[in-house]
Chain A
């Protein structure tokens, strides 16, 4: 069985700030990290490997520096890592991204004995784009069932049984067959830390295999900007909405002034 984990490099988002003086994005010293949800996806894949035996394969599409997160995945215990990197992939929206990821998965499956014996796991969403769209789009591209927002997982022979959470007041238990795609919530597990020997292995015994457009042989209309139906028209800094009043005085004066204002606003 092969377990594919699709991961994304994201900026440590809490570090992204606007410089109030110049009104521009402060970019210095923003660390790049594995999308936190994707670590839970890796952890689930590794647990499946330990309990049932499987080959765990991490895939990321991104610029050359995304190799860092694949090394981290390898150091956690992932068996193989593929980096899909090419200028032609740049500017991809979720449609083009899911197409490219599917090409890589299909290519890796070509050499597999049983081409249906696989599972794809993703984090429920990335903290930078926050769309959660790549998972369902990838499932459609691979033509396999999808279960999103998974918080518990069990594999029994060829069947998988999961708990899906769409709302706080309901847990839905769903069964499906392999192959299938899951997107996982952070509650599903606690990702392990790489061990010392894991880190050494990631840089000595294991490798990150780069695949470019020559190797994946995509339909050029479906990758990068060309394959993206959506385009960013403009990016801007949100305007401050309100005139602001700072209320000063003793605590009593502040309380009275605030109540008066809220009455004028017809809220109290």
Chain B
């Protein structure tokens, strides 16, 4: 595999340098030169106006598989204590759009023990088919059983697209299934589209902590697998639909397991539900102290909002960890997000930039949070927030 620049075509315009995320290309004496940082990602090719860049792949690579054998879009669900994670329904919404565009069926796959009575309810979210893999032991999640049952089923049924929630559970079994099938898997997608000509799934995800977006495709193999974070897509409207239901019973036994669950400790269920909140009021370092956070809490209260914060507020013990929003915390997409004293480090932005309306209150006009905010207020939050609380109360009383 090698990458070439055609010196006769290259105009030294530098577009390729701008498109390269790895500093793998530079302009020397008015010509582009590839250096050792190159990762062969091919991002430079598209931006070149004169098609002077060429990547040559050794052709023995591709055992051409017949892509047309693979048809259909699958969504694989997960559950905890018999409650299906809402990301599965969100993926049925998006999966339905993709299936329609491709002219294929949408299939909902669930592994469990007690879902016989729930299948009709699942059908309201729009799947054409439901595959229910049933085994008493699947009340609990086991990596090895999920991987085995799903891989078998995928090899037999050959779907072209498989969507999975990017939760810890999904991120545990999806890569192992992908490896067993030698399938491409793209993590944490925020955008999914179909390229009509090739039927390729164009999978867009944040990279470099969200500073850049990358669109990934899997042109030469099937199935195309993707994980998607909760809260990115909308759950579809529920409606009656004729759905084919297939139940597959497995007789998995405890002694077949390679990992054994010896104990499950239930901790106090967190009452914090940032992922589903319609309004979130969040504080950052600018709030200043734990005491000052009471003001932010009051603003959340009058708005009927959930309270959140940036990583630093959790590290300073101003907030509990389950309220952390950002790369290492929750990803949220409420209707309204009010950021108080949050500068907007990229790690925070990736967790909240999908919010419908973002309000930023910050002293520093140059803070990056203003780049994503719809309404910006430059000023001291300690003065503005109390006035805002009163104004909202007044508005409520009028209603």
A interface residues with partner B (beta carbon < 8 Å)? 11, 13-14, 16-18, 22-25, 27, 63-64, 88, 90-91, 93-95, 98, 127-137, 139-141, 145-149, 161, 165-177, 220-221, 224-226, 228-238, 240-248, 251-252, 254-256, 258-259, 261-263, 265, 267-268
In the complex with contacts A25-B21, A148-B171, A220-B60, A234-B261 CB distance below 8 A: no
B377 touches A233 (CB 8 A): no
In the complex with contacts A130-B188, A130-B327, A226-B57, A240-B372 CB distance below 8 A: yes
| Contacts beyond the supplied A147-B259, A231-B218, A235-B213: 10 A-B pairs with Cβ under 8 Å | A91-B1, A95-B182, A129-B207, A168-B321, A173-B262, A221-B63, A231-B217, A238-B212, A254-B379, A267-B356
Chain A residues with Cβ under 8 A from B118's Cβ? none
The CA-CA distance from A21 to B216 in the complex, in Å, is 27
A242 touches B208 (CB 8 A): no
The CA-CA distance from A251 to B63 in the complex, in Å, is 66
Query: Is residue B215 contacting chain A, with contact meaning CB distance below 8 A?
Result: yes
The CA-CA distance from A95 to B186 in the complex, in Å, is 11
Report the minimum CB–CB distance from B98 to chain A (whole Å): 17
The CA-CA distance from A230 to B183 in the complex, in Å, is 8
Chain A residues with Cβ under 8 A from B214's Cβ? 232, 234-235
State which of B39, B46, B258, B261 has its C-beta within 8 Å of the C-beta of A172: B261
A224 touches B374 (CB 8 A): no
Chain B residues with Cβ under 8 A from A91's Cβ? 1, 39-41
Chain B residues with Cβ under 8 A from A128's Cβ? 207-209
The CA-CA distance from A102 to B147 in the complex, in Å, is 19
Report the minimum CB–CB distance from A208 to chain B (whole Å): 18
In the complex with contacts A169-B266, A235-B41, A268-B395, A95-B261 CB distance below 8 A: no
B23 touches A27 (CB 8 A): yes
The CA-CA distance from A254 to B381 in the complex, in Å, is 12
B390 touches A255 (CB 8 A): yes
Chain A residues with Cβ under 8 A from B259's Cβ? 145-147, 174-176
The CA-CA distance from A241 to B357 in the complex, in Å, is 10
In the complex with contacts A16-B209, A135-B175, A235-B19, A255-B221 CB distance below 8 A: no
23 contacts between A and B (CB under 8 A): A25-B21, A88-B1, A93-B184, A95-B179, A95-B182, A136-B171, A139-B176, A140-B175, A145-B143, A165-B168, A166-B169, A168-B322, A170-B264, A170-B266, A172-B265, A173-B265, A174-B262, A176-B258, A225-B57, A230-B218, A242-B358, A251-B379, A255-B392
Chain A residues with Cβ under 8 A from B37's Cβ? 63
A63 touches B211 (CB 8 A): no
Report the minimum CB–CB distance from B374 to chain A (whole Å): 4
Q: DSSP majority for the A interface? A: mixed
B42 touches A232 (CB 8 A): yes
B60 touches A254 (CB 8 A): no
Chain B, Cβ-Cβ closest to A163:
B265
Chain A, Cβ-Cβ closest to B144:
A145
A244 touches B215 (CB 8 A): no
B391 touches A230 (CB 8 A): no
Chain A residues with Cβ under 8 A from B19's Cβ? 235
In the complex with contacts A128-B209, A167-B168, A176-B260, A232-B388 CB distance below 8 A: no
Most chain A CB inside 10 Å of its own CB: which residue of B210, B216, B269: B216
State which of B43, B208, B269 has its C-beta within 8 Å of the C-beta of A169: B269
Report the minimum CB–CB distance from A15 to chain B (whole Å): 10
State which of B39, B262, B346, B392 has its C-beta within 8 Å of the C-beta of A13: B346
In the complex with contacts A63-B37, A255-B388, A238-B213 CB distance below 8 A: yes
Interface string of B284-326 (1 = CB under 8 A from A): 0000000000000000000000000000000000000110000
A258 touches B387 (CB 8 A): no
Report the minimum CB–CB distance from A98 to chain B (whole Å): 7
Chain B residues with Cβ under 8 A from A242's Cβ? 358, 372-374
Report the minimum CB–CB distance from B131 to chain A (whole Å): 22
B residues 196-229 in Cβ contact with A at 8 Å: 202, 206-221
State which of B172, B206, B211, B321 has its C-beta within 8 Å of the C-beta of A136: B172
B207 touches A133 (CB 8 A): no
* Closest 4 pairs (CB-CB, A-B): A229-B184, A91-B40, A131-B187, A255-B391
Report the minimum CB–CB distance from B283 to chain A (whole Å): 17
Query: Is residue B167 contacting chain A, with contact meaning CB distance below 8 A?
Result: yes
Chain B, Cβ-Cβ closest to A30:
B23
The CA-CA distance from A186 to B336 in the complex, in Å, is 31
Chain B, Cβ-Cβ closest to A236:
B213
In the complex with contacts A141-B179, A235-B214, A256-B391, A132-B43 CB distance below 8 A: no
Chain B residues with Cβ under 8 A from A230's Cβ? 184-186, 216-218
Chain B residues with Cβ under 8 A from A226's Cβ? 1, 57-58, 61
Chain A residues with Cβ under 8 A from B217's Cβ? 230-231, 233
The CA-CA distance from A206 to B268 in the complex, in Å, is 48
A246 touches B60 (CB 8 A): no
Chain B, Cβ-Cβ closest to A37:
B328
Query: Is residue B238 contacting chain A, with contact meaning CB distance below 8 A?
Result: no
A174 touches B371 (CB 8 A): no
Chain B residues with Cβ under 8 A from A221's Cβ? 60-61, 63
